[in-house]
Amino acid sequence: MGRMGLASSSASLRLLVVLLASLPSSLLLVRGDDPYRFYTWNITFGDIYPLGVKQQGILINGQFPGPQIDAVTNDNIIVNVFNNLPVPFLLSWQGVQQRRSSWQDGVYGTNCPIPPGGNFTYNMQFKDQIGSFYYFPSLAFHKAAGGYGGIRVLSRPRIPVPFDPPAGDFTILTGDWFKLNHTDLKGILDSGNDLPMPDGLLINGQGWNGNRFTVDQGKTYRFRVSNVGIATSVNIRIQGHSMLLVEVEGSHSMQTTYTSIDIHLGQSYSFLVTADQPPADYSIIVSTRFTTPVLTSSAILHYSNANGASTVPLPPAPTVEIDYSLNQARSIRWNLTASGPRPNPQGSYHYGLVNTTRTIRLANSRATINGKLRYAVNSVSFIPADTPLKVADFYNIQGVFTLGSMPDNPSGAGAYLQTSVMAANMREYVEVIFENAENFVQSWHIDGYAFWVVGMDGGQWTPASRQGYNLRDAIARYTLQVYPQSWTAIYMPLDNVGMWNVRSESWARQYLGQQFYLRVYSPANSWRDENPIPKNALLCGRASGRRTRPL
């Protein structure tokens, strides 16, 4: 090669180095051929009338509910959020594990809020996940104003799915709703009082018969149902039709037929429905569980060749007894032979053969502190810090939180206020027992993780309770329920470094302190274990004015 060729090659190499140095780190972290999907969302307030009363709702691109995210395992999801509200705003992603990147989790413990008129771009990968999820606004009491939407993650084309492709794939976002604006609800809680009973139930943002799902006779359809409410469990059933459960929060389940399914706060299920009845319009009924009075709403399952409403009797609501719901929950099992996000069978993860390294007991409680209603975990009622905990941890800002301020066991002491953080180490394998001595169903979610629900029962948990654990085919999921005067146990491998929110899905309880953060730490301080702080990370509080990282 002549000198001109060598000089040209050298110049090209230098240009390539400069170009690579200028690329965002998210592109330098090579993710193979996994596709990118881009979204631009404008967040605004707008008038909505879900129960016939004008309210201030949170709209995304003018929609309530917001746009659905459709993706495939390992897709990279880029969501550029413009906050056109007059208040700070964040979105969180229920069930999306944010592998190695709690920076994208979208709760105040990890992210500085997007200021009014500002924007932030979430850069996520749906790494090794399939199934049904949703997103929601996480700050203040915004969740009571809408701003939520569905997330559907399909298997990669060559990964077998344990049922034939359905003729259609429907999303149902259902949950309780208040006629009071979110600011009024927040004001009630701030004054030290509890919320009233919800006013109704919504299905995809609409009230009674506001939605129609059209099907062709003889075909089978998938319904993904999430409880996006803030106060109550719900039950779903379909007039004249059974429901074949196939997926629970990212896990293929054993295919069991139900006439109705309980869905607790924050939970998601997928079931198949075959249009095998005479052509007609049938009711999809959703009602609250364990409430007085029982609230009910409905949508229409419309056969494309129907010419009237069905005369089949409407399915009755389940009994009010807890045992019905408890036994149904125990009947939901993991499909051991089905592939998950990867081709290997779900049952190849022998979670029950691994010895746990730590036991954590978490007891919820209701308390009065400084004359106001609060809720607590192990007597600690969480209060937000002036700086997001993950940001303070990264910059080693002292005095924001104290590791170990969330104890591993209930003490029975009086409740107190604190920014509670539990310390944990990467690769611990923990047993967590959620204990509920109250008379209401509790629903818990852990960001960043899925876990196996190995046991649940009434009464007080003791070490002898382990004899009844399901160590073979317990379902893996991200949200669990704990029945009144009962306990629920999970096994969870701590394989995702970060600062992760552990919270009640009852939004009043979460807002008034029934939450904490789990800090999963790796001393390696390696990008292998955790992504670096994003260059576009918003900084606030005591981190204001700092730099994220150099190019």
Spatial distance between the Cα atoms of 109 and 120, rounded to a whole number of angstroms: 16
For domain 32-158, give the fold: Immunoglobulin-like (2.60.40)
Residue 510's nearest CA partner among 303, 266, 330 is 266
Q: What is the pLDDT of residue 550?
A: 62
358: left (phi over 0), alpha (psi -120 to 50) or beta: beta
SS (H, E, C) 318-377: CCCCHHHHHHHHHHCEECCCCECCCCCEHHHCCHHHCCCCEEEEEEEEEEEECCEEEEEE
pTM score above 0.85: yes
Average pLDDT over residues 78-99: 98
Average pLDDT over residues 31-59: 92
Residue 207's nearest CA partner among 93, 359, 48 is 48
- Measured from the Cβ of residue 257, the count of other Cβ atoms closer than 10 Å reads 10
**Boundaries of every domain in the chain:** 32-158, 161-335, 351-543
Q: Which helix (H) or strand (E) holds 516?
A: strand 515-521
Average pLDDT over residues 213-238: 98
Spatial distance between the Cα atoms of 418 and 367, rounded to a whole number of angstroms: 14
Contact of 388 with 111, CB cutoff 8 Å = yes
- Measured from the Cβ of residue 194, the count of other Cβ atoms closer than 10 Å reads 12
Q: 18-32, 186-200, 370-384, 423-437 — which is least confidently predicted?
A: 18-32
Q: Which residue has the tokens 């009363």?
A: 53
Q: What is the pLDDT of residue 25?
A: 32
- Which tens digits make up the pLDDT trace of 256-291? 999 999 999 999 999 999 999 999 999 999 999 999
**Whether the predicted pLDDT of 74 surpasses 70:** yes
**Whether the predicted pLDDT of 473 surpasses 60:** yes
* Mean pLDDT, the chain, integer: 93
- Res. 525 pLDDT band, cuts 50 70 90: confident
Contact of 135 with 63, CB cutoff 8 Å = no
**Whether the predicted pLDDT of 5 surpasses 90:** no
Spatial distance between the Cα atoms of 239 and 51, rounded to a whole number of angstroms: 23
Pairing of the two strands 220-227 and 168-177: parallel
Spatial distance between the Cα atoms of 403 and 423, rounded to a whole number of angstroms: 6
**Whether the predicted pLDDT of 439 surpasses 50:** yes
- Which tens digits make up the pLDDT trace of 111-155? 999 999 999 999 999 999 999 999 999 999 999 999 999 999 999
Q: How far is CA 551 from CA 26, 180, 422, 529, 544, in A?
A: 12, 48, 33, 21, 19
Q: What is the pLDDT of residue 467?
A: 98
Note the Cα 175 to chain centre separation in Å.
14
Q: What is the pLDDT of residue 320?
A: 83
- Measured from the Cβ of residue 416, the count of other Cβ atoms closer than 10 Å reads 14
**Whether the predicted pLDDT of 549 surpasses 90:** no
Q: How far is CA 53 from CA 65, 123, 202, 486, 522, in A?
A: 17, 37, 13, 38, 51
Q: Which helix (H) or strand (E) holds 446?
A: strand 442-446
Query: Please, which residues have CB within 8 angstroms of residue 263's CB and are 6 or more apart in sequence?
Result: 174, 225, 226, 227, 233, 234, 235, 236, 269
What CATH superfamily classification does 351-543 receive? Cupredoxins -  blue copper proteins (2.60.40.420)
- Which tens digits make up the pLDDT trace of 159-194? 999 999 999 999 999 999 999 999 999 999 999 999
Average pLDDT over residues 250-260: 98
- Res. 319 pLDDT band, cuts 50 70 90: confident
Please, what is the Cα angle at 442 between 437 and 446, to 5 degrees? 120
Residue 97's nearest CA partner among 330, 341, 420 is 341
In sequence order, what are the beta bridge partners of 432? 360, 490
Residue 541's nearest CA partner among 390, 380, 404 is 390
**Whether the predicted pLDDT of 551 surpasses 80:** no
Q: What is the pLDDT of residue 318?
A: 85
SS (H, E, C) 20-78: HHHCCHHHHCCCCCCCEEEEEEEEEEEEECCCCCCEEEEEECCECCCCCEEEECCCEEE
CATH number of 161-335: 2.60.40.420
Half-sphere exposure of 465 (CA within 13 A, CB side): 20
Q: Which helix (H) or strand (E) holds 392?
A: helix 389-394
Q: Tell me: cis bond preceding 65? Omega within 30 of 0 counts.
A: yes
- Res. 23 pLDDT band, cuts 50 70 90: very low
Half-sphere exposure of 330 (CA within 13 A, CB side): 16
DSSP per position, 241-298: B-EEEEEETTEEEEEEEES-EEE-TT-EEEEEEE--S-SSEEEEEEEESS-SSPPEEE
Average pLDDT over residues 341-348: 92
